[in-house]
Structure 1
Amino acid sequence: MADQSDITDTIEQDDTEIRTGLDRAIAGSTRVLAWAIFVAFLITVIEVFARYAFNSPTFWAHETTSFLIAAIFLIGGPVALARDKHIRVRMFYDSVNRRRRRILDIVNSLIALMFFAGLAYASWIMVGKSWFNPSGALHLEGTGTSWNPPTPALLKLMVLLCVVTMFTQTVFHLISAIRRDPSDKTASAGGK
């Protein structure tokens, strides 16, 4: 079983692949955001205990845990991009020299920017519809249950924020790839 120092060493090794200050801040935030998983677990334990020990189920537990887990899932995109752990076809990427890797990084960043721009536009529309009613008054979209928390509106805003964050990260990565000297042996993507 891994002890605390093994886990810390693994985290620190992962952090060596971080390329920008924004990436460092995002990767560092995971130490705090990971507690949301524990909170979701704790809420689930409370719900099970209330339901089976006191025959008094809660009406908020399921929606709260769903919101927390969905939020954690959304934050995974910027975190994966910050740690350079996103999907890459390694078979092609690892088989080319550093100069071609630089070209692949530039092309990948340009394609990602187009994708994130489109996704940001779609997210902006979703946020507008979930935050405002047709007359333009602020009215957060709820779940439609008896509790009716505004979690759908909040999650749609989180989608927009995460996409804008990933767009910004990709701009910084593109600038870094353009500036990178292809002959520098330490400058390959992610330190690999």
Structure 2
Amino acid sequence: MNRLLASYANGMDRVSVFIGQSCSVLFFACIAVSAIEVVMRYGFDRPTVWSTELAMTLCASAWVLAVGYVTERNRHISITMVETLVSPTVWRVFRLIQMLIASGAILILSLALWEPAVKAVTRMEHSGTALNSIQPAYLKALIVAGCALYLLQLLANIIRWFQRTEGELDGGH
């Protein structure tokens, strides 16, 4: 059973790292879209109707999808002062408590977001902007997917905690 759980944790780590590193392309695309908008607006006096919405969607997508990577690397923002005040054993217990609380919170968030995401995708909600893209439907569904990635990676981290196979954990600073 331990080997099966370790295999899951290793596999989930690889998925999270792949997705997280792949998201860097979305940030570069956002930079390109923003640069095109600047040239079109100030160079040709022809601003686009799509660039702001697209840049926002690209950045939001990267941010939501990278949550598993951030969790796998233990790079969330944390209060590191507490770590310096308590023993390594107590800090290890605090990390488990944090992962369990995060798992519960994300599970509740996922359940709360499920129905609105299904409605948004079923009705194919549009943004109502000049571009009138399907951004609301896309992002609502993507947030649910991001929650799933976060939960799956938290489970992998909890498995590693119990098996004492965590890598270097130096907080979110």
Give the TM bin, normalised by the shorter chain. Answer: 0.7 to 0.9
Does the alignment pair 1:178 with 2:162? yes
| The structure with more helix, counted as a fraction of residues | 2
Secondary structure of 2:168's aligned partner: helix
Equivalent of 2:59 in 55, 69, 88: 69
User: Is 2:99 the partner of 1:121?
Assistant: no
- Superposition RMSD on alpha carbons, in Å? 2.2
CA shift in 2, pair 1:105/1:51, >3 Å: closer
Q: Give TM-score scaled by structure 2 length.
A: 0.80
Counterpart pick for 1:144 among 121, 125, 128: 128
Shift of 1:189: 6.3
Q: CA deviation at 1:188?
A: 6.3
- Structure 1 residues 97 and 119 mapped into 2: Cα distance closer, same or farther (>3 Å)? same
Kindly indicate whether the alpha-carbon contact (under 8 Å) linking 1:102 and 1:188 is maintained by their aligned counterparts in 2.
no
Q: Which stretches in structure 1 are left out of the alignment for 5+ residues?
A: 1-18, 133-138, 181-186
Q: Hey, what's the Cα distance between the residues in 2 that align with 1:174 and 1:155?
A: 28
What is the percent sequence identity of the aligned residues? 25
TM-score scaled by structure 1?
0.73
Residue correspondences, number: 162
Give the Å deviation of 1:80: 1.5
Which residue of the partner structure matches residue 145 of structure 2? 161
Higher alpha-carbon deviation: 26-35 or 108-117: 26-35
CA distance in structure 2 between the partners assigned to 1:169 and 1:22 by the alignment: 6
Measured against aligned partners, the alpha-carbon deviations of 1:11-42 in whole angstroms (never above 9, x if no partner) come to: xxxxxxxx743223322333332121221121
Higher relative contact order (CA 8 A, sep 6+): 2
CA distance in 2, matches of 1:31, 1:106: 26
